[in-house]
Every structure is written in C-alpha cells, then in structure tokens.
Chains A and B, each alone.
Chain A
Amino acid sequence: MEKVALKDSSYQLKRAKILNIKKLTDKEKFFEIALMDRDYLDHEPGQFIMISLLGIGEVPISICSSPTRRDSFDICVRAVGKVTNKLHKLKTGDEVGIRGPYGKGFPVRILEGNDLLIIAGGLGLAPLRSLITYVLDNRRDFGKVHILFGCKEPKEILFSDEMKKWSERTDLHYACTVDRADPEWAGNVGVITTLIPGVDIEPSRTFAAVVGPPVMYNFVIKELLAKGIPERQILLSFERHMKCGNGKCGRCQIQNLYCCQDGPVFNYEKIKYLSEAF
C-alpha cells in the first residue's frame, strides 16, 4: 500500500483563527473567524462551511455574516454535540480548520430590485443574518424589506442588539414574537405564522426567505401562499446532517437532491413535490 499527499483533495483544510467570541444565549455563541494566509472565504449569503476541530471532528455550520465584509466571517453555534460543545470552550486566538464554503445560497442577483419578506425561526436567524446584513449593506438595490423573527422564549433571542437596531430603522419593517412570554416581555406572543397576515406586501414583487426548525415550514408556507406570494418566490433553507459537503456521502439527500450541493437554499416551486423535504 502506498500513500501520497493529495493537494487537490476537497478534504484539505484551510487554517483559520478565531478573532472574537460572544455569548448570545445559554446555548449559543457567536464566533468571528478569519482565514489565515490572507485568504478570503468568498461566500454567498446562505452558504455553509465545514468546521474542524482536529481530534474531535467536523460539523457543517451556516455562515451568518455578509460577504460584503471580506476579511473575516461570522458563525453562530448552538452547543449540541461533541464538536459544538468543544467549540464553545475555545478562546479568542485559537485555530480551527475550515472547508468550504459549500452549497447554493440565496440568489441575491435575482432578489435585487424586489421586496423581501425574511422569516426566521429560532436558530434559523443565523443563516438569514448573512442575507439581512447583505441587504442592509446594499440597501438601495432592494425594495421594501420585512423581517419577522420568532422563537420559543425571550431568553432564546439571538443578536438582540442588532435586532434592536433593525427595529429602529425606518427603511425596514421588523416584527418579533415569542411562543411563551416572560414577565418582562412586552412584545407579541404567539407562533411566527401569526405575524404573517399583518404584513403589508405586494405579493407579485415579494420574495420570501424562510429558515427555521422543520416543523415551521409547512405552516409558514401555507400562510405565504394565502398571502398570494407565488411558489417560485418562496426560498427555503433546509437543515440536514452532512459529512462531506461534496454531494457524495448521502447523508443530506432529500429524495433526488443533495442538500449540500443542490441546496441548502431551495426554491419552493422546485421542491414542493418532495415529501422527504418537509
């Protein structure tokens, strides 16, 4: 048996350094990361990377910053498994391995000139933050922008500082809801679908971008269709387990599609017939 180095391997890692860490909630942390060797990630909003901790493992994580900022990128990580728990223990200056970016993100060139209805459930805000910050950095290229966010409890709210800023902006409409309120909560209570009927949109020129837990999709899609948004203008990002990111390992397959290569962002019109998607 012979062994040789494989320079072109898609499994080769890029070195990256953690520049900044912030605690967002009890379970979620925010990491600002930069590739070393003066490399740029060059992603599109909605894409993901594979992040490696050598000796522990590798996981797919959505990029949550806009590609308009090139020197570094952000991820938001919930501690749920071996790798993500260890990630939470890392410090500023520590190194991680990166592969990617992978997948098809939000088609920003197509979205330009249209109105946007962005709907985020819980951690679904992370991939959508890459789109939101992109849109805000190129605000003049887009029409009206609505952002709806929902989560279970107020203490689960991610990026609350940024949300506060969004809610103060006059050039976008922001609404937020929680399933269960606590005594300090003054906002809306109810599932995220309760926010949709009240949004004033012109359906023919509105694109909806939806990311959230699996249970959310069916209900949200129903509301969006009731609102009159055409199927082809509903964009959904799916979460699946991924091991390779190259469309080979088979983990993330939704019927005939690979989430890692054909998605994670899909056009509802093209996938509505896939029962394994919902």
Chain B
Amino acid sequence: MQHHTSYVILKKERFDDFISSLSRMQKLVAPVAKGFNNYSFEEVHSAKNIALKYIPTILPAKKFFMPQRETLLEYRVSKHVKAEAVVEYEKMTIFGLHTCDLAGIQCLNMVFSERPKDYNYLTRKNKITLIGLECNEYCDEYASCHLVNASFPSGGYDLFFTDLGDYFIVHVNTLTGERILDITNCFEKSSEANLNELYRMREKKRKIFSNEIPIKSRHIPELFDRSFRSLVWKELDERCLACGNCTNVCPTCYCFDIKEEVDLSLMHGIRYRVWDSCQLEPFAKISGGINFRKERSARQRHRYYRKFRYPIDKFSRFFCTGCGRCTRTCMAGISLKETLNELLKESEDRLWRRWL
C-alpha cells in the first residue's frame, strides 16, 4: 500500500541515537523544562534535555522565524544614501512542535508570503526544518486547539512524531524529512499493525478532544459578526493591564515596530524591527495625538477579531491555534475560552430576547 511508505517507526531505545545524530547535522532546538511547569524552545545536544511531555513553551517557535529584534537595513551615515537590505538567518531543526505550534507557523507563512512578500521571514523559514510531535491528550485546561481545528496534524512539517508507547510512528512529509531518515539511519519500516495502532490512538483522541466551547467552529465568524458592540469587551476594559503579554506569546501575532540605531562612531547605523503589540496604548496613535484605539476594550476586541474574524476573509483560517498561551500568561487572568463563552452566552441571550 502506498501510504505505508510515508510512515516509518522509531523505537524508543533508538531515540537517543536519533537526537544525537540530528544535533550533529545542524543546530537542534527542542522543548526544554525550565521548572515550575515552564518550557522553552532551546538548543539541545542530547535527548535527555528534551521534555517530550510538555505544555506549550513560554514563547512559541515564532521567535526563530521572526526574531524579537531583526535587522532590515544597514547603512552608512553620510551625505549620500548608502543602504543595504539584509537578512540574518541560521540553519536549524526544531524538534517537538505540537500541532498548535505548527498551525501558528502556517499562519505566519501565509501572512509573509502575501505580496509584497517579506523576504526576511521567507529566507529564514527556508532554513528551518520542522519536526512535529503529537499530543495524545490535552496539555492543560487552557488549550482550545480542537475548536480551531489545530488538534490533529495537517501538514506544515518535514517529519511528524506520534508516541505509541514503545515506539514513535513518524510521518514523512517532505524530501528534507526523507533526508533526515537517510542520515540518522535509526528508523524502521512501518507495518499494517503500526498504522492500526495509530488509528486507534487517534480514535481515542477524537473523544478526548471535543466540546471545549459549546459552539461549532464554523459558527465562530458569525458570533463575532454579532459581537462588535458586546458588553464583554467593556468588562475586559476594566481587567486588562495593557501589558502586551498576550500578543508577545501568541504564535500568530506578528505586528512590529521599525526602529533606527546608530553606533557610537555615528558612522554606521541599522534599521531593525521589533515585536510590537496592538495592546499597547500608542499603537494606533497618529500625529496630532488622535488615538483610534484608545480604550483597552477596543484594543482587546481588536486582538480577538484578529484571531477569529478578520483572517477568515483573507486567509480562510483562524489565527488562533488554541495553544492557550495568552491565557496562561495574562497577569489579569483574562481567559480566551472564558471570553468566547461569555460572547456566546450574551449572543444567545440576545437571540432569545428577540423570540420572547
């Protein structure tokens, strides 16, 4: 059968060999435990440093694709305009990306491939190899990956690992993935029995991953169409501290500021971009001091609409991956699932009132 060839298996006892061999090929990044149930994507050289069971890392993998600070232009400060656009990149493999994080990277791919293309992002993306790792159960109660169709793998990786007890079954998705199989030489052919075990695990998983919020994902855009003037936003106004944490940790947030820096010689300078946030007060301010999103309620609303409504028209997908990072990090305890539930409740109440 054709699909057998795209699946291989890696026995757990060969996992150490695989990781060591992978890290010898090029820089290898994987989830690392940092204590207090925090995890971070960091460089590793051996399997013992990798946290195979982990809740989403503090920062998503976007930090490698769109670094927090990135040079766009280098120049000489002189009477003549002499500037050169540059891109900084590093070849690397990221091991252990959950399906939510792969979905986040797919979102960024779409944004930066849209014309005018962002070659800084695209160049870097070409140099990064992605190896996914399936969640067989929920990471914690904040996740809502099923709601946004990100709980099962749907491409965007070179290899994809699923833990089936004594071994991993691995989906080979690209030529780069095949090359890794050849070089590391740790994998075995999969059998019909292995695939059946994968299907059984997925069946079980389908029962666990369900009903995060009582709404079908296809109805979410309508819910947001009804909710622009919702009182839920007003409530967030009183709670939000406008710190910007939620957008920093979001795998699909990509807004940035462009800044300028000249070195001490006053001869050379760079223009660089840094992460910015629509939650910060000056973000939508124009000259003359007028601010088009002055209220925190309007800024929070904007964040939610950028996840659940606006990208639907443009990219036909949610820009929320259900990873739960925004909820975990919020100092004011604003919860994405709770907000969606409240919007839903309010919207239903309104519909009922119309009937009564």
Contacts from A to B (Cβ < 8 Å): 1-13, 15-16, 52, 54-58, 78, 80-81, 94-97, 213-214, 239-241, 243-244, 246-251, 253-256, 275-276
Contacts and interface: CB of A to CB of B under 8 A. Distances in A.
B287 interface: yes
Q: Tell me the interface secondary structure of chain B in the complex.
A: mixed
Contacts of A250: 254-256, 276, 278, 283
Contact of A249 (B257, B266, B302): B257
Contact of B86 (A4, A10, A54, A254): A4
B120 A9 contact: yes
Contacts of A11: 72-73, 85, 120, 271
10 contacts: A3-B86, A3-B89, A5-B86, A9-B87, A12-B84, A13-B73, A16-B81, A246-B118, A251-B276, A276-B302
B129 to A, nearest CB: 16
Interface residues of B, number: 57
B81 A255 contact: no
Nearest to A9: B85
B305 interface: yes
Contact of A9 (B72, B81, B111, B314): B72
B314 A240 contact: no
B256 A5 contact: no
Interface in B247-264: 254-260, 262
Interface of B: 71-73, 75-77, 79-81, 83-90, 111-112, 114, 116-120, 123, 228, 254-260, 262, 266, 269, 271, 273, 276, 278, 283-288, 290, 292-293, 298, 302, 305, 309-310, 313-314
Given A6-B86, A243-B256, 14 more contacts: A2-B89, A5-B84, A6-B87, A11-B85, A13-B83, A54-B83, A55-B262, A57-B260, A58-B271, A241-B287, A243-B273, A250-B254, A250-B276, A276-B292
A80 B290 CA distance: 13
B90 A1 contact: yes
Nearest to A8: B119
Contacts of B86: 3-6, 9
B123 to A, nearest CB: 7
B9 to A, nearest CB: 35
A275 B228 contact: yes
B223 to A, nearest CB: 16
B280 to A, nearest CB: 11
A12 B118 CA distance: 12
A94 B85 contact: no
Contact of B119 (A6, A13, A55, A96): A6
B286 A241 contact: yes
Nearest to B310: A256
Contacts of A213: 288
B81 A240 contact: no
Q: Tell me the interface secondary structure of chain A in the complex.
A: loop
Which 8 pairs show the lowest CB-CB distances between chains A and B?
A: A250-B255, A9-B85, A256-B310, A12-B85, A6-B85, A11-B72, A15-B81, A55-B77
Contacts of A9: 72-73, 85-87, 119-120
B89 A248 contact: no
Contacts of B266: 55
B314 A6 contact: no
A214 B290 contact: yes
Nearest to B121: A248
A220 to B, nearest CB: 17
Which residue, A1, A7, A9, A16, has most C-beta atoms of chain B within 10 A? A9
Contacts of B120: 6, 9, 11
Contact of B85 (A7, A56, A246, A255): A7
Contacts of B88: 1-3
Contacts of A52: 81, 83, 271
Contact of B293 (A58, A243, A276): A276
Contacts of A239: 286-287
A247 B72 CA distance: 16
